[in-house]
Structure formats: structure tokens, C-alpha cells
Structure 1
């Protein structure tokens, strides 16, 4: 990553993470409920198959309401670190978890239960920020960009949906060549559909 782009993104990440952590509990709960409705009503929301979420940390918007509202045919999965990419493990509340090297809980499953990225019907991913062109600002580790590199310029599935609070929608500098754009972003305020955006 060019040094000047990194210099722009570093303070922006800090500012946006502070903003989302400053939200009070009542705002978070209400936002998670509203987010779930928007995700469940997406035009391309699957009725069956594996869908991926994440374990919310560091002020990220929670997905429990969406998970509980999924159609019976959907299998909810959480990401698991595998080399320099992510794979996905089915998980239900009460199933065992263990922290990965970043302290993020991952399902404890047999290796043959893990699913590759291209098996997902839809992936709901956390973000630090996003813009009106469907660019996602993550934590800077590149996990989702590496995992879904095959989606650059290729039609879904999996559908890639970033989620966060509306206060995380901000102008971003031009993307890096390896950045994978979102198909949509959902916040408590509604759906931002990027499928017809000129990239």
C-alpha cells in the first residue's frame, strides 16, 4: 500500500472506531434490530444455503437479530482463520468457540466441516467505514480482500454485504488494486445498493 494512502487511512480508522464505540447501549440494540430487517429484506437475500456473519467486537454492529431471523434453510457460519485467508464454520448459539490469535471467537469444528469462501451464498462482513461507491474500509489486515479476491469483476455468489452504523459512511480515497468492492452495505438507516455503481 502506498505510504500516502496508509497515512490517510490510519487516522480515519481511529476516528471511525471511536465513533462507533461511543454509541450507547440503547442505540446499539435498536440499530441491530433495524439492521436485521434490512438484511432479511435484501432483494438477493438467500432462502437457503450457507451464509456468513461475524462475531461483533470493538463496537461493531451486532448480528444476533439477523441470525435469529434467517430462513430455516440457511446455515449461519462464522469466519475461521486459515493461512492468510478465511474459511467458514457453521455455528449456532451454544456451540463451542475458542479465540483465534486476534482474540476473536471461532467455532470449534472438525476440519471437514469447514466451508470455502465460494460455498457461501451471502457474506455479511464488518467494516470500519464505507463510501457511496461500495468501497469498504476494514481494519487493514486484508483478510476479506484476499478471501474474496475471485469476486473482483465477477458476478455473485457469494453476495458481499458490508454492515455498520450509518455514521461509518464517509468519503474514502481511491481503492487499492486488491480492494474487493461490496455489492451492498446495510446500516440501521437502510440499504446502500452498489450493484449498478460504475467502478
Structure 2
């Protein structure tokens, strides 16, 4: 079994990356082989609407035909058994890097034929980890749930079960005194980091183990 994690955040050792590592540890505990990719290491763009993935009699149906540094990752995703995605929330949505990756992945799998939603022939379980600065009780008024549900619907193109995990009120800086951020209470943020983030890490571990276990059945 192969589990791939894709980090859509710019930092490799902070909230999103940490939770993805924990999810991969969970997958490894279920016997999976794992790999982690950082989107900010790659030079690529979003879908260019060339429709090459939908040309009749093409061997590339279901595959993005645009060639750049994202191409090998997209091909690995199509071969994996479970996919873990992670992104911080920037201005109410995933990062631009993650959004461009999702465009390339989802559009190539989306079928334009009547009565068929996806051209993907296999079942891949998926999980999406979202990290965000806002507290959990702010989510309803900000409308973030619509973003999470929309991505969950798109992940149905992989034909497998999909879940998502929310890590809210995250700790953003090593030292808040170095930044213009007076609206945030550093003591509160540190308390959340100490008390709640370990719970988020355990949930991420369980997510990775659970998705790997589902595909092992």
C-alpha cells in the first residue's frame, strides 16, 4: 500500500506539515509505504483549459497533459492507495499552490460524458487537513464549511472514502513580540498550542491509520 501526502503550505516544519507527518506515521503503523511532497518546492501553474485530458482516442484521458514540475506528483497520486492533503487557510480558502494542484488533479478526472462523473478507474481513500488561525467558533460566520464540503465533493472523483480534519486557533509565530499582531493573545495561543495541538496530532495519526486500514480491507 502507498500513501502520499501533499503539503500545500509554504512552511515545512510548522502546523500543516507537522499534522501531515503525524498522519503519515499513522499510515505507517498500518503497514503503508509513505511519501510527502511540498508544493512550494515545485514550479507549476494551475489548469490552462487546454482540454487535452478530454480529447477523443487519447491515451491521456484522466491525466493532465501539461508538462511541468507538478506532472510527476500528479502521476504518483493516480497510482497511490490513499491521498492525504494539507493546507493552511488563507483568506477563506486553501493556498494558491494547493488550489492550482487541485485544479490540475480534479479537472483531468472529471468526466464530460453523460451519466459518468469521473474517469478514474480505481478507489483511493483521501483525507484533507486544514489549519487556520481563527478559533473554531468563528467558522460558521466565516463560511469556511462550504470550502471543506466542496473539496470533499471533488475528492469523490477518486471513488473512495474521504474525511477532513480541522486544526483551529493555531500558533503562528515562534515569538509574537517580533510581529505586529496585537489582536492576538500570545498566552492564549501558547495554551492552545500546548493543550489542543497534541490532540490535533493524535487525530491526524488516527486519520492516516484509518484511511490506510480502509484500503487494506
| Bigger fraction of residues in strand | 1
TM range (shorter): 0.3 to 0.5
TM-score (norm 1): 0.40
TM-score (norm 2): 0.37
| Bigger fraction of residues in helix | 2
Of the two structures, which has the highest relative contact order with CA contacts closer than 8 Å and spacing of 6 or more?
2
Larger Rg: 2
